[in-house]
């Protein structure tokens, strides 16, 4: 199945030379036909040179804004809720300034700043440490900048979790399909269109690759009412680049050189 025309020509050529033409070529042809059937990208799919996010903190006004965004992701991706921090799996969540930007804390910051709910999820770094360390290429970087997980291949060594300087990765310490002591399933609403994970693999935000392929924006972006903006960082006319050009933005731990692709507009008062 997995031969392309070039390989087919090679097989056909070699088998003819060896004089065993006959059946080998016929088989090759049949398979070649199927390959002529080919695979192609979805024409509606969104494409970019390097996807990135801008998180505009001024749009996160209430707890409801945060919850809506988290639910929009966790519901469609069958992210389990184990109800304890030890086994916790999360793709997108919130934390406060001091913990999202350690090393940039400001002890005299306003109470308003200290209390802001910063949305955190995988940074889809340009030079991701997790991809560098993965021994099976189970986590890899796509051409469009999305740092992707191949759950079929992950052996659960958790090297990526040690390597990620952003704590973006979660491990399935137990079976996400299971139920708690009261018989309640860990995945409250099973979305039949998306898989779950199995115990023993690492997972994280995958940039809604399944939605991008269908021409849709990531779920959190759609649910955030402009709080999270998504676009091509390499395209100077993209909305993300315009926002980054107009506002003062910061990224998490840029000194580590991974080049995170999430930019935060801190806002604050008038000096945005």
Partner 1 sequence: MLEKALSGSRRYWGWVFFLLAVIGAGVIAYLFQYQYGLTITGLSRDVSWGFYIAQFTFLVGVAASAVMLVIPYYLHNYKKFGRIVILGEFLAISAVIMCVLFIFVDLGQPTRVMNVMLHPTPNSVMFWDMIVLIGYLTLNLVIGWTTLGAERKEVAPPAWVKPLIYLSIPWAASIHTVTAFLYAGLPGRHLWLTAIMAARFLSSAFAAGPALLILLALIVRKTSKFDPGKEALQSLAKIVTYAMTINVFFFLLEVFTAFYSNIPGHMHPLKYLFLGLEGHSRLVPWMWSATILAFVGLALLIYPGTRRNESILPIALISVFVSAWIDKGMGLVIGGFVPNPFERVVEYTPTLPELMISLGVYAIGFLVLTVLYKVAIAVKEETEGVEIPH
Partner 2 sequence: MYNAGKILIGLAIFFGLATFPFFYNMGKAVAKPDPKLDTPEIMKLAKQDRKCVEPKEFMRAEHMQLLNNWRDSVVRDNVRVYVNSEGKKFDMSLQNTCMRCHSNKKKFCDECHNYMAVKPYCWDCHIAPKEKES
Q: Is 152 in the site for partner 2 (CB under 8 A)?
A: yes
Q: 95 — phi, psi (to 5°)?
A: -150, 170
* Span of 46-54, 164-172, 223-231, 263-271 interacting with partner 1 by CB under 8 A: 164-172
Give the range of 44-52, 141-149, 168-176, 242-250 binding partner 1 by CB under 8 A.
168-176
212's tokens: 């991008």
- Taking residue 203's Cβ as centre, other Cβ atoms within 10 Å add up to 22
Q: Could you say which of 9, 20, 34, 155 contacts partner 1 (CB under 8 A)?
A: 155
What is the token pair recorded at 58? Answer: 């001024």
In 3D, which of 50, 4, 45 has the Cα closest to residue 262? 50
20 versus 250: smaller Cβ distance to partner 1:
250
CB of 73 to partner 1, least distance (A): 17
CB of 140 closer than 8 Å to CB of 152: no
Task: Give the residue among 208, 169, 173, 192 at the shortest CA–CA distance from 83.
Answer: 173
Q: Are 45 and 213 in contact (CB under 8 A)?
A: yes
Shortest distance, CB of residue 150 to partner 2, whole angstroms? 5
Instruction: Count Cα atoms within 13 angstroms, Cβ side, for 163.
Output: 18
User: Do 249 and 264 form a contact (C-beta atoms < 8 A)?
Assistant: yes
| String marking each residue 175-204 x if it binds partner 2 according to CB under 8 A | ---------------x-xxxxxxx------
Q: Which of 144, 260, 132, 160 is nearest to 209 (CA)?
A: 144
Site string for partner 2, 35-74 (x = CB under 8 A): -xxxxxxxx-x-----------------------------
Nearer to partner 1, 141 or 241 (CB): 141
Given the rule CB under 8 A, which residues bind partner 2? 1-2, 33-34, 36-43, 45, 78, 140, 142-144, 148, 150-152, 190, 192-198, 209, 213
Given the rule CB under 8 A, which residues bind partner 1? 85-89, 95, 98-100, 102-103, 129, 132-138, 153-159, 161-167, 169-175, 198-202, 253, 256-258
């Amino acid at each position: 199945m997995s031969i392309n025309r070039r390989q087919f020509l090679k097989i056909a050529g070699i088998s003819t030379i060896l004089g065993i033409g006959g059946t080998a070529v016929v088989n090759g042809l049949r398979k070649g036909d199927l390959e002529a059937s080919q695979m192609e990208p979805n024409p509606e799919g969104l494409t970019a040179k390097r996807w990135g996010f801008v998180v505009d903190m001024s749009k996160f006004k209430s707890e409801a804004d945060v919850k809506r965004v988290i639910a929009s992701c966790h519901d469609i991706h069958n992210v389990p809720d184990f109800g304890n921090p030890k086994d916790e799996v999360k793709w997108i969540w919130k934390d406060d300034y001091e913990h999202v930007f350690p090393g940039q804390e400001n002890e005299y910051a306003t109470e308003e700043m200290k209390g802001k709910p910063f949305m955190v999820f995988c940074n889809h770094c340009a030079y991701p440490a997790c991809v560098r360390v993965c021994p099976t290429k189970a986590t890899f970087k796509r051409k469009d900048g999305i740092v992707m997980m191949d759950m079929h291949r992950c052996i659960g060594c958790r090297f990526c979790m040690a390597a990620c300087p952003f704590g973006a990765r979660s491990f399935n310490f137990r079976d996400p399909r299971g139920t708690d002591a009261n018989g309640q399933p860990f995945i409250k609403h099973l979305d039949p269109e998306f898989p779950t994970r199995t115990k023993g693999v690492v997972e994280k935000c995958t940039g809604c690759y399944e939605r991008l392929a269908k021409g849709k924006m990531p779920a959190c972006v759609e649910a955030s009412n402009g709080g999270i903006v998504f676009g091509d960082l390499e395209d100077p006319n993209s909305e993300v680049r315009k926002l980054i050009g107009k506002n003062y933005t910061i990224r998490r731990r840029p000194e580590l050189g991974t080049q995170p692709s999430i930019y935060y507009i801190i806002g604050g008062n008038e000096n945005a």
